Amino acid sequence: MTGIRELVKPDRVHRSVYLDESIFEMEMERIYGRAWIYVGHASQVPEPGDFLTTRIGRQPVVLSRHEDGEIYVLFNRCGHRGAVVCNEAHGNARHFRCCYHGWTFHLNGLIKAVPLQAGYSRDVDFDDPSLGMVRVPRTDTHRGFVFASLAPDGPTLAEYLGPMTRKIDDICDRSPAGEVEVTGGVHRYEFPGNWKAQMENLNDLYHVPHSHESTTSGGRQFRRTGTATGSRLTRKDGSPISFWDRTGVWAFDGGHSYCGRMPDAGPVSREEHPDYVAALEARLGPERAAEVLDADWHNAIIYPNLGLQSMAQHIRVIRPISVDRTEVLVYPMKLRDAPDVLNRTVIRYLNVTHAAASLIQTDDLEAFGRLQRGLPADGSEWVFLGRGLGAEQPLEDDFGYRSEGTHELPLRNQYREWLSYMGEGAN
Amino acid sequence: MAVAESIRDRASTPLSSEAAADFLFMEARLLDERRFEEWRELFTDDGYYWVPARPDQPNPLDEVSIFYDDKDLMETRIKRLRHPRVHAQIPHTRTAHLVTNVLLEPDVPPEAEALVSSKLLVATYRQDQQDVYAGDCRHALRREGGLWRIVWKKVVLINCDAMLKSLFIPF
Ligand code: FES
Ligand SMILES: [Fe+2]
């Protein structure tokens, strides 16, 4: 293989980053093994004993709430001989019990009981955490968003998130209680392509009028309306292609970025929901309330596995499976103490845009699959990401750059970060 | 409306299990023959089609669903399937809907006149990839203008909470 550093040029990347299994293995180790990875939300495990299972990269982990009320992220691996302990997507348990020889563990991972313990030498220390379900090296949360890092050292979560912290805050602050609840189910789907295709797509406004033509043709885009009982999605004229450029993209250190708000995004109106708007203003002040209601961003990317959307507010989690197969999970965020109609509208809209049978996301997945099938073709070994190169403008009040909406700045920004993870110690 | 009309005669009290099965078979045929507009016409104006995203999902309002279409959304979905540049359906998915174990259920909901349960097996094929979906199906039916129509149709796939591939054709 060519040296890792040779794979990323200022305006292009080598196709092997999407195709080569050994590069995928290295990504799991060097990116997913080091970065802060979004694991889940505290509202998914509200009570002591609650747990859910997921993966960091390809490693099985459990997010649990111990009897002390604290949240733990544990490797889902028995301290005895290594079997997966929690076999369900989520649940509530007094303790975790391994199916193989019956070792049991507290929800903080420490051993609770070992059958026939007398058969072990007295030297064996069953309080040793390494014989339990081991905690991942670092765990931290921001407003209920639980992140974990498999690296013992590195930037703190706050340093890592940087300006993206504000994006999480924008959504949480739409709740009169300042909290979101991830209790609206999940859209779960896969695509036959590389995980980076999904991360790149989240801030790719160049594709929208073309990929989604069958649903948005004639410059039309879905518009959600505030009805809880009908799945009425009216359409709104406007948004010619030039619109997407005016929308803008912003890119930051860490591979993070976001794009500007969509043409059909509009704030919740004071006329329709006066009590709700008043509650937000009381909590945040009128200025911040207006800011969060009419967020100036659409999709925010927290590299490498998390996307947030402000319009139909949801969390998107990317779980790589192999170099050419990826799982995606889309969770609506409910605003605690907000009118039901607002939360239900989001859920209804997400069915249209992000279900496995959606009218929108399926277009993107088709494109990701076609990338995976097209790239092995010879002719060029390079993937061109040069749109808008050199046009990015440094931001005045933040470390970062802005460019026109259809520019590929966010993609180049991801590869800059990719290289800094992958290139470390490489030639 | 040829299919619906062919069962016009059967829209008499009460619905027999044979007539219910015929209705379901003909509905399945409309989908397999890509007669989506006629399929949509089987629904009452307030009718909906629901495929939950988990087995015991209590309602389609508070949690996301794989499909939750009223007639408006069905229309949008069908227009998209007919669009000349619906990239994800070029070539389109072929389907075979197999309907079996048809039973009339005793607990008819107030909005309907009959509740029919069935098992559904749907084979889909697109671009060298064949998949099979299976599930439990409920049709709430009501008579309108001498025809049986669908008030709601609910399909609970056995793998509804799995990581799914893209879906295009209603089950
Ligand atoms: S592997 Fe878990 S108890 Fe033996
Ligand atoms: Fe898209």
Chain A neighbors of B87, CB-CB under 8 A: 211, 213-214, 363, 366-367
Chain A residues close to B72, C-beta within 8 Å: 230-233
**Nearest chain A CA: its distance from B83 CA (Å):** 6
Per-residue model confidence (pLDDT) at position A233 = 40
For A258, A307, B63, the CA distances from A201, given in Å and listed in that order, are 11, 11, 26
Distances (CA, A) of B130 to A122, A131, A372: 57, 45, 19
**pLDDT on residue A217:** 65
Residue of A89, A213, A347 with shortest CB distance to B85:
A213
Query: How far is B103 from A91, CA to CA, in rounded Å?
Result: 34
Give pLDDT tens digits for B124-137.
Answer: 999 999 999 999 99
* Residue A53, beta-bridge partner list: A62
Residues B91 and B89: their CA atoms lie apart, in Å, by 5
A contacts of B62 (beta carbons < 8 Å)? 184, 343-344, 347
| Cβ atoms of B115 and B104 closer than 8 Å | yes
User: A-chain residues within 8 Å CB-CB of B65?
Assistant: 185, 351, 355
Q: Is the peptide bond before B170 cis (omega within 30 degrees of 0)?
A: no
The model's pTM: 0.94
| CA-based nearest residue in chain B for residue A350 | B64
- For ligand 1, what atom is nearest to the CA of residue A101? 3
Closest CA to A200 of A24, A25, A422, A413: A413
Residues of B in contact with A357 (CB under 8 A): 51, 66-67, 166-168
Residue given tokens 């030297």 in the structure block: A123
Hey, what are B151's tokens? Answer: 């008030």
Residue with tokens 């607990």: B107
- Residue pair A220/A228 in contact (Cβ under 8 Å)? The answer is no
Atom of ligand 1 nearest to the CA of A82: 1
CB of A78 within 6 A of ligand 1: the answer is: yes
> Does A269 have pLDDT greater than 90?
no
In this model, does residue A72 exceed pLDDT 90? yes
* A190 interaction partners in chain B (CB closer than 8 Å): 163-165
**Helix (H) or strand (E) run with residue A347 in it:** helix A340-354
User: Does the beta carbon of A84 sit less than 6 angstroms from any atom of ligand 1?
Assistant: no
Q: Under an 8 Å CB criterion, which residues of A touch B?
A: 89, 183-191, 211, 213-215, 217, 228, 230-233, 327, 330, 332, 343-344, 347-348, 350-352, 354-357, 359, 361-363, 365-367
Contact criterion met (CB < 8 Å) for A187 and B68: no
Would you state the pLDDT for residue A231? Answer: 36
Nearest partner of B124 among B86, B164, B154, judged by Cα: B164
* Strand spans (E) along chain B: 43-52, 65-70, 94-105, 114-126, 129-144, 147-157
Non-local CB neighbours of A166 within 8 Å, separated by 6+ positions = none
Q: Closest residue (by CA) to atom 3 of ligand 1? A: A101
What is the Cα–Cα distance from A128 to B5, expressed in whole angstroms? Answer: 74
Q: How far is the C-alpha of A195 from the C-alpha of A200, rounded, in Å?
A: 9
Establish, for the pair of chains A and B, how many residue pairs have beta carbons separated by less than 8 Å. Answer: 111
Mutate to test the pocket of ligand 1, among A100, A104, A134 (most ligand atoms within 8 A of CB): A100
Average pLDDT value for chain B: 94
The closest residue, in CA terms, to atom 1 on ligand 1 is A81
The Cα of B168 is separated from the nearest Cα of chain A by a number of Å equal to 6
Region of A264 please: left (phi>0), alpha (psi -120 to 50) or beta. Answer: alpha
Using CB atoms, pick whichever of A89, A187, A361 lies closest to residue B64. A187
Query: Which residues from chain B sit within 8 angstroms of residue A327, using beta carbons?
Result: 163
Å between B52 CA and nearest CA of chain A: 10
Residue B74 near residue A352, CB atoms below 8 Å:
no
Q: How far is A413 from chain B (nearest CA, A)?
A: 29
Say what the pLDDT of residue A201 is.
98
Long-range contacts made by residues B124-127, C-beta under 8 angstroms, separation at least 24?
B124/B93, B124/B94, B124/B95, B124/B169, B125/B93, B125/B94, B125/B95, B126/B91, B126/B92, B126/B93, B126/B94, B127/B91
d(CA B124, CA B133): 8
For residue A221, what pLDDT is reported? 44
Model confidence at A234, pLDDT cuts 50, 70, 90, reads: very low
Indicate whether residue A101 lines ligand 1 (CB < 6 A): yes
Domains and CATH numbers, chain A: 40-149 (2.102.10.10), 179-261+296-422 (3.90.380.10)
Domain B2-157: state its class. alpha beta
Reported as a pLDDT band with limits 50, 70 and 90, residue A246 is confident
> Cβ of B53 and A188 within 8 Å?
yes
Q: Which atom of ligand 1 is nearest to the CA of A78?
A: 2
Q: What is the pLDDT of residue A284?
A: 97
Residue with CA closest to ligand 1 atom 4 = A101
The predicted structure's pLDDT at residue A266: 73
3-state helix, strand, coil in chain A (%, to 5): 30, 25, 45
pLDDT in the model for residue B5: 54
> Is the distance from the beta carbon of residue A99 to the nearest atom of ligand 1 less than 6 Å?
no
Do B38 and B1 touch, CB atoms closer than 8 A?
yes
| A138: exposed, middle or buried (Cβ count in 10 Å: 0-12, 13-18, 19+) | middle
pLDDT number for residue A242: 72
Confidence tier at B147 by pLDDT (50, 70, 90):
very high
| pLDDT average, residue stretch A253-276 | 88
Average pLDDT over residues B2-15: 58
How high is the pLDDT of residue A424?
75
A200: which 2 tokens? Answer: 């790149």
Does the pLDDT of residue A286 top 70, yes or no?
yes
- Distance between the two ends of chain B, CA-based, in angstroms? 20
DSSP state of A118: G
pLDDT at position A225 over 70: no
Which residues from B are below 8 Å from A when comparing CB atoms?
A: 48, 51, 53-54, 57, 61-70, 72-73, 76-77, 80, 83, 85-88, 161-168
Which of B163, B164, B165 is the best mutation test for A, with the most CBs of A within 10 A? B163
* B10-29 tens-digit pLDDT: 555 689 999 999 999 999 99
Q: Where are the beta strands (DSSP E) in A158-251?
A: 180-181, 187-191, 221-224, 233-236, 249-251
